[in-house]
Chains A and B, each alone.
Chain A
Amino acid sequence: MLARHLNNIFDITSLKQEPTRDGFGHGLVDSGKSDERIIALCADLSESTRTEWFQKEFPSRYIEVGVAEQNLATIASGMANYGKIPFIMSYAVFSPGRNNEQIRTTICINKVPVKIIGCHSGVSVGPDGATHQALEDIGLMRMLPNMIVVVPCDSVEAYKATTAIAHDDVMPSYLRLGRASTPVLTTEKTHFEIGKAQLFYEVEKSEVTIIACGAMVYHALCAAKKLEGEIAVNVMNLATIKPLDTESILKEAEKSGAIVTVEEHQIAGGMGSAVAEFLAQTYTVPIEFIGVHDRFGQSGTPEELYKEYGLDATSIIQAVRKVVRRK
């Protein structure tokens, strides 16, 4: 059964499609209205990161740093150190990719509340190809002490995540966003809280729980629906990867006895790794990992790439069947 306060996601004709970056863009503007300390800094990508919406509303609180992501991080570190709440926007391959050391030293060790917004993550970036498809950023960010890592499943959740991290004037955060329009699963009423996972699909006597994040949550829900009558599957939206909601994950492992993780990221070091690291130490169950297996992306449409890299509902269904056999 679909959880309460979700859209009717199995009716593809009524399903609204919107990129998570749009939800972020609106969230940043609204956060800026309620808190003057919020500053937007961008590295020459203000349209595609939706930073220009904030720029139009608050021109004096928008700072252009040019194609200089290391400086993007260090300027923001100084501003946060002073008492501002800076958001830094770029593509995830550049930030937190290119400026990883500056994030580590001047933001995380420094412990200042810089909000890192990594747009254009995953293979669904599409035609731009491998250089622009970040597949390592969850790993890079979740390894850093003091960092909060959030991967919203749709634009509405991205809005909520943005306003939530904007409220925190102590800790740094990483928000991972996508380029492509993806189904809007959640509504204003859907509960969202940093550090809390949500069951989006719940059946009686579940045999497998799929834990997904980002746009993959929709694929996971489609897989669970198609498996109805064959395998009883729960689907969890694990929007916050750090801090990990260990309580909810443990409950699912105990209840279902098998886990499939699904993310648009390298298998190594991503969300699935975080789940497996925890369960290996607490409650061992068979786990299958859906993600990119040690390859770079390439040009194509999101749908072509989801299929090629085994990130579509069909691949998830196969993984669920496999994990059941391993029980």
Chain B
Amino acid sequence: MSHLSDEQIKALELKANDIRISIIDMLEDAGSGHTAGPLDMADIFTAFYFHILNHDPKNPEWVDRDRLILSNGHIVPVRYATMAHAGYFPIEELKTLRKFSSRLQGHPERVALPSLETTSGPLGSGIGQAAGIAYSARMDNRKFHIYVLCSDGELDAGNSWESIMFAGKNKLTNLTAIIDRNNIQINGMTENVMPLEPLADKWRAFNWHVIEIDGHNIQTIVNAVEEAKAVAEKPTVIIAHTIAGKGIKEIEYDYHWHGIPPSSEQEKAWMKELRTLGNKIEASHYN
């Protein structure tokens, strides 16, 4: 496993914090949108765009780029913010989220912004699209890797399991799914709305390799992806245990924050909280 230096970890943790600040900023500007999921996926998106992905923000249609497919399109603010920080488009454009004629549609649209790879929002369709890309890439001997990020709630959808079965049958080793296991969905806790456990066993039964990690630990995220890419004969799922609303104490673990944005008062207080968190990250890596 490649071990990240303390300096690298610090830089990535600070980047994730900056991305959380951008998320709060853009959601308050938009006046609608989802808060909990984007915040809890900030560490994973940072790890992907700033360390894991083989990509080129200046050449987003490079044919051999790794593909990152976002299945649960409603958390797209975290992707927009991360892509802007990674240089895909100016950070100021984040202000256009959910506004008329913006490339940053409320749910991601490939035609509006091709570097999003796919259009998503209606849940359960991302794994299939990722599996279709993975199958095609293997036919053509392309060496890039395909990642699909999903929510836990969208595993209620039958389409998800049809695709999971397909990828398992076809041994798509170039495909890795990452589940945002934050345990919440719109109507409440996932285990109350529609129980998913034993989740790891379900994926194993469908012929996937399963890794469970802390979705907020950058080193662990990087290690899990390396392990996934090394697995032969099976696709891999990384079940990333995350805290909904991660970074803002007031809303952490609270499913009510699935689909609403912060007020302007909350925005002010939360930006302050995240800046303090940034200082704490700096301090924790001081040696």
Contacts and interface: CB of A to CB of B under 8 A. Distances in A.
Given A102-B125, A110-B110, A75 B131 contact: yes
A70 B159 contact: yes
A97 B104 CA distance: 31
Nearest to B139: A60
A81 B132 contact: yes
* Most chain B C-beta atoms within 10 Å of own C-beta, residue among A75, A106, A111: A75
A250 interface: no
* Most chain B C-beta atoms within 10 Å of own C-beta, residue among A66, A78, A80: A78
A127 interface: no
A101 B158 CA distance: 13
Given A66-B165, A75-B132, A77-B132, A82 B137 contact: yes
A45 interface: no
Interface in A53-69: 60-61, 63, 65-66, 68
Contacts of A84: 136
Q: Classify chain B's interface size.
A: 20 to 34
Contacts of A61: 139
A299 interface: no
B135 A79 contact: yes
Interface string B154-197: 00001100110110000000000000000000000000000000
Contact of A78 (B124, B130, B139): B130
A109 interface: yes
A130 B135 CA distance: 36
Contacts of B135: 63, 75, 78-79
A48 interface: no
B111 A78 contact: no
* Most chain B C-beta atoms within 10 Å of own C-beta, residue among A66, A80, A109: A109
Interface in B122-143: 122, 124-137, 139
A199 B127 CA distance: 46
Given A74-B163, A78-B128, 8 more contacts: A75-B163, A78-B131, A78-B132, A78-B136, A80-B132, A81-B132, A105-B119, A106-B118
20 contacts: A65-B166, A68-B165, A68-B166, A70-B158, A71-B128, A71-B159, A71-B162, A73-B128, A74-B132, A75-B131, A76-B132, A77-B128, A78-B134, A82-B136, A102-B125, A105-B119, A105-B125, A106-B118, A106-B125, A110-B111
Interface of B: 69, 109-111, 117-122, 124-137, 139, 158-159, 162-163, 165-166
